[in-house]
Structure 1
Amino acid sequence: MDKIVKMNIIENHSAVVISNMEKRCQFWLPKKKRFCANTPLNPSSSFCGNHTTRSDANWVPCSIDPSHCVLEDNMEAHLKKCPLLKQTQTLLVQPYYQQGINRGTDDDSADHPDFTSVLKRNLVYSLTVPQFSDLLSKICSIHNSISKDIGFSYKVPPACHIWINRLISRKLPYQEKHVQQQASILGNLEEFGVLSSSTQALTEQQFDHTASRYCEDNISSVVEFGAGRGYLTQILADCYGIRKVFLVERKSYKLKADRSLRQKENLALERLRIDIEDLNLNAVESLKGIPYLAIGKHLCGPATDLTLRCCLGEQCDQDIGIEKSVRPQLRSTAVATCCHHLCQWKHYTGKKYLKNLGITKDGFHAITWFTSWAVDADHGSDLSDDGFLQSPLPPGDNDEYGGGGKEVEDIIRNMKAVDRAALGFMCKDIIDMGRLMWMKECGLEAKLVKYVPSDISPENRLLIAKVAAPTISTPTS
């Protein structure tokens, strides 16, 4: 009798399991060795929405948010409920929204499309071997002349010891490599005379009462561009004290520093969800007439140029309705550059600098493509900062690079990884030097430094500047 009861229980359990499995997606997950646990898309389908075979109908990018696609027949209905619809409608009525104000111009058209990585690669491969050799020689020659002006400046100020020594609240995320980079950015600002230094490391409780005095006679407001979660500003607020915070970021993030920042006494926080390209900083009401510090960590590609234009750009002379006395007053800027392979000629601020060196628009596209090699390599013991200054020999001077009529594509494939990385870092430095020269033409005292060792981050170039004269002119670029 007991055996019969047990068999019935097993059979009933098996029936329940099979029934539940029938209600689940039938897509097999090899790594997990089970079927997908999601519910099918509809009763007539065996698969969930993630694993249903996509229709062969025409899929087109959403006109509100091109990052996702929609069936062309469903576009009209989708546009009424697209997640970014409300955000876009809200942005369009903001006084600081001005489409393309910081875009810059191309030689041909202000609306010229982006030059993609594929187009850049094809451009390089279309060069003849002598043209490629001449370009490498020019890059090496330019870098040799500017390398002495790019110093190593890894600074960890005592004021940041609260983060370095992990004395912060355990609720705040901590990643050592990011804290080292953020601390060095602030350390360089302190050495540059922008931030007031502290005399000793303080505890978290002591900072709550005394940190505000560090900026009391200096800069009390900060605008962080490409802020992401905002932890660069979090460290600045914790260690130096500020009264106003503006976080500029076009995307939405979880686990932001906003909650922690809002809990600080006497600190006002405003997050501007907008593309830097469209931000008219002069029209931000709560920033008018206030001296501020502009910062950004790893501003990818053209975001660096857009930020510089936003703070120093041509619109300063075009905003007839905004008096100079109520415009925001830039006091200093510190921007850690990144992802130079994404840079675009129309945005780039250093056009004049490159043209004076004989680098054309096509040469700029080639140089930006080379920069991706800098972060492809292993940045361990084989590649030191000194190694980045070693010049790869032009193909015509070295049989290893196949100077005997080989195509450029073959030459590139035969280059050593260390030489490719070296060339990539040279090109990064040249691009950043053009930006540096543009800032100097704007009337700023500026410098370009390597602010952390390459084993912490290979993206370790920092543009740092402060206003050296009361009037800022705007050069053409």
Structure 2
Amino acid sequence: MAAEVECGKARLRCAFFVSHKHRLCKMIPSAGCRYCGEHAACEPDTTVGQQRKRIPCPLDPKHSVYADALQKHLKKCNSRERPLPVYYMKNINTEESDDEEDSDNNDTLPLHTEEVAGLIAKIERFSEDLAGEIPHCILLHESLREPLKQAGSGPAWKHLQQQASILGNLEHLALLRPGHCFVEFGAGRGHLAHWVQRALPANKRAHFLLIDRSTARFKVDGKHKQGAGEFERLKIDIQHLDLRKVPKICHEGFPVVGIGKHLCGSATDFALRCLAEQLPNLTNHVQSDSGIEVPRAEDQDTWTAGVGSQVLRSESQDWSRKGSSVAGLVIALCCHHRCRWRDYVGKEFFRARGLGCKDFSRLCRLSSWATCGWGRGRNGTEGHDPVGETTCPFESQLDLDVNTRVALGQQCKRMLDAGRVDFLRKRGFEATLKVYTDPTVSLENILLTALPRKVYC
């Protein structure tokens, strides 16, 4: 009997064969049809019960639509062109490259043994100029202690470990407090902002902006109905984001804290420009046009409820922009091989040391040596050396052992990050790099933190 029921369930399924999954589609078709709505375009016109013909949507052929309802569908299709939001400004966080050759496609640029050997010599000279070891600052915020115990081990536990340390560093820098607008760049499912909210007092004001260029599945946005702060998700590429025009920032005047976990490649550079070049720094004192002194973020809840706020808003229309300042940033770096010279913020730093676009492209390629799994076999066992099996001939010709290649990859990453630190320092920030988690948790374990330099009026 159970077998018949299971067989009956199988007959109810869509008849479309999903080739890359090697099985039939699991969706249930309508009565009298063999295919579900997603694959209804495969239904023959003569099928019983299928009186209307379905065609692929012209905006996105991944789904289908009834031919006689096409015009109605085009008005509400999720793939239709939509009006650009007010905070969209094309390429505001990048700049045109003045080099004859750009490095948009780092992976396709040819690498020769002689060139790489010369670059390694430059890396070693460059590394001598950098300060000593990156300090370790592996912290654990109290709000994640219990979730870590419940997570056990595995990917979820590793993500919580990283989030716990990021929150610990936010607290260490006095940024984990109410009265801020936390902007999570590359938010994805929004877990980092979620834990920041959980760490804040439930009865205090805060705001959260989740920035991502795509729609993520299984978001945790639904868990934010209770607790501190308001959440807003902006679907936009950071490259085109003008924070000054986001309503909650330009009207409310929240001090901005930039956060991010594993912000890939050029996305980090976009975020740094977005914060450091669009908004002013939050100094210890801000003087209004009327001479009233505005306190720092920790006192803003009390102060904005008083008369001072009303005076400022009435006498100075530009107060919203003065209030929306950068209080700091904490970003976990990732995927340096996906950086592009056109978008990179540390070009001045590189040029001052005789390095240009081509050197940058090769550095990005070599940076992957730090995380590409040298010394680990496909089953995760140690001691496997892929030299001789690689498709890149120069890697075997250089005759470098595993530890040397990993060290060179780490030096490349550090050089790229040093340019970012220099960029922030030239714009009034005290920027530092920190090791925020153990390499066994994540090989991408460097955290970029920055606070405005203290200015006393």
TM-score norm. by structure 2 comes to 0.69
Q: Which residue of structure 1 lines up, in the alignment, with residue 261 of structure 2?
A: 297
Q: Which moved more, 1:34-43 or 1:371-380?
A: 34-43
Give distance in 1, aligned partners of 2:26 and 2:435: 49
Secondary structure at the counterpart of residue 132 of structure 2: helix
* Amino acid paired to 1:411: Q
Shift of residue 69, structure 1, vs aligned partner: 12
- Please show how residues 113-192 of structure 1 align to structure 2 within 5 Å: 115-120=104-109, 122=110, 124-125=111-112, 129=114, 131-146=115-130, 148-166=132-150, 175-192=156-173
Residue pairs, 1:179-328, within 5 angstroms: 179-195=160-176, 215-216=177-178, 219-241=179-201, 243-264=206-227, 266-288=228-250, 289-313=253-277, 323=318, 325-327=320-322, 328=324
The answer to whether the 8 A contact 2:144-2:160 is kept is no
Structure 2: which amino acid aligns with 1:42?
E
CA distance 1:470–1:324, change in 2 (3 Å): farther
Deviation of the 1:258 alpha carbon: 1.0
Match of 1:43 in 2: 44
Query: Are positions 1:465 and 2:450 aligned together?
Result: yes
Aligned-pair CA distance for 1:114: 5.8
Flag the 1:344–1:260 CA change in 2: closer, same or farther, 3 A. Answer: same
SS in 1 for 2:175: coil
Q: Structure 1 CA distance, aligned partners of 2:167 and 2:18?
A: 51
Evaluate the alpha carbon distance shift between residue 371 and residue 28 of structure 1 in structure 2; reply closer, same or farther with a 3 A threshold. closer
> Per-residue CA shift, 1:346-381, capped at 9, x if unaligned?
11011111111221110000000111222111588x
Which one-letter code corresponds to 1:283 in the other structure? K
Equivalent residue runs for 1:315-464 within 5 Å: 323=318, 325-327=320-322, 328-377=324-373, 408=394, 410-412=396-398, 414-464=399-449
Q: Deviations over 1:160-182 (max 9, x none)?
A: 32433449xxxxx9911001101
1:100 is aligned to 2:91: yes
Identify the residue that residue 294 of structure 2 maps to in structure 1: none
CA contact (8 A) 1:194 1:332 kept: yes
Does the 8 Å CA contact 1:345/1:364 hold for their aligned counterparts?
yes
**Paired residues of 2:375 and 2:402 also in contact (CA < 8 A):** no
SS of match in other structure, 1:298: strand
1:57-103 Cα offsets, whole Å, 9 max, x none, are xxxxx9x88x9899xxxxx99x95795544x414x1x2211111112
Partner residue of 2:312? none
Shift of 1:314: 5.8
Shift in Å, 1:315: 8.1
Matched to 1:435, the amino acid is R
Number of residue pairs matched by the alignment: 368
The AA in structure 1 aligned to 2:264 is C
* 358 and 28 in structure 1: CA distance in 2 versus 1, 3 angstrom threshold: closer
The alignment partner of 1:227 has SS state of coil
Residue-by-residue CA offset, 1:310-356 (whole Å, 9 max, x unaligned)? 01126879xxxx94752521101001111111100111011111111
Counterpart-to-counterpart distance in 1, 2:138 and 2:375:
17
Pairwise CA distance, 1:409: 5.8
Q: What RMSD, in angstroms, separates the aligned Cα atoms of the two structures?
A: 4.1
Is contact 2:102-2:342 (8 Å) kept?
Answer: no
CA distance 1:27–1:445, change in 2 (3 Å): closer
Match of 2:421, SS state, is helix
Q: What is the identity percentage for the equivalent residue pairs of Structure 1 and Structure 2?
A: 29
Letter in 1 for 2:255: P
Offset from partner CA, 1:204-236 (integer Å, 9 cap, x none): xxxxxxxxxxx24xx532111111111111111
User: Which residue does the alignment assign to 1:48?
Assistant: none
**Aligned-partner Cα distance in 2 for 1:358–1:468:** 29
Task: Supply the distance in 1 between the matched residues of 2:94 and 2:216 (Cα, whole angstroms).
Answer: 25
Contact residue 262 and residue 269 of structure 1 kept, 8 A: no
Change (3 A) 1:302 1:28: closer
Per mean C-alpha deviation after superposition, the further-off stretch among 231-240 and 297-306 is 231-240
Kindly provide the CA deviation profile for residues 164-201 of structure 1, in whole angstroms up to 9, marking residues without a partner as x: 3449xxxxx99110011011111122223333xxxxxx
CA distance in 1: counterparts of 2:206 and 2:344, whole angstroms: 32
The Cα offsets for residues 259-282 of structure 1, whole Å up to 9 and x where unpaired, read as 111332x52111111110111000
Q: Gapped runs of 5+ residues in structure 1?
A: 1-12, 46-61, 71-75, 168-172, 196-214, 381-399, 402-406, 472-477
Deviation at 1:287, TM superposition (A): 1.3
